[in-house]
Amino acid sequence: MSSGPGKLLLVLASLTVVAVLAIALWVVGSPAAQRDARLDQRRTEDLQRVERAVVAHWEANGSLPADLAALARVPGQSLPLNDPAGGPAYSYEPTGSRTFRLCASFVTDTADDPRTRRGANEDWLHAVGPKCFDRQIRDSQD
């Protein structure tokens, strides 16, 4: 077996490939981490849809809906009420005449991870575990 420049180039090329793969996994995350991040993004989008439906209900009726089931029964309304990965169902609770709370359970931490924080809506940042978001119906001029 030769120990010339060809073998050295092969070793360097192999090390380069391994280094690039390691860096790619670090930057992008493992497939499982990417899946978790996508599921949490979906949870956030689901809660945003529910928030919009609550606001629409307020605008139409002048009051908050009693619960998610009542909101989901509105004709033409298709609301996500359950976690996309089979986790706990989303929860909604009126906390005042114009305030309410939306809750979900998350598997990633967007508050501390700069990769997921980029472009994220600050109002929807969350840690791992159950998280509730307090919301308020604002006047149209706000």
What's the Cα-to-Cα distance from 105 to each of 17, 88, 122, rounded to whole Å? Answer: 38, 7, 17
Residues 111 and 118 sit within 8 Å (Cβ to Cβ):
no
Q: What is the pLDDT of residue 43?
A: 95
Cβ within 8 Å of residue 50, ≥6 positions away: 68, 71, 79, 80, 90, 92, 102
Q: How confident is the model over 75-111, as pLDDT tens digits?
A: 888 888 999 998 889 999 999 999 999 999 999 998 7
Of 136, 37, 50, residue with least CA distance to 89: 50
Residues 44 and 52 sit within 8 Å (Cβ to Cβ):
no
Separation of alpha carbons 73 and 77, rounded Å: 7
Pairing verdict, β 91-94 and 129-136: unpaired
Of 86, 98, 99, 95, residue with least CA distance to 43: 86
pLDDT (average), residues 114-131? 75
Q: How confident is the model over 5-51, as pLDDT tens digits?
A: 778 888 888 888 777 776 766 665 678 888 898 999 999 999 999 99
pTM for this model (two decimals): 0.74
pLDDT (average), residues 116-134? 80
Q: Is 129 helix (H, G, I), strand (E, B) or coil?
A: strand
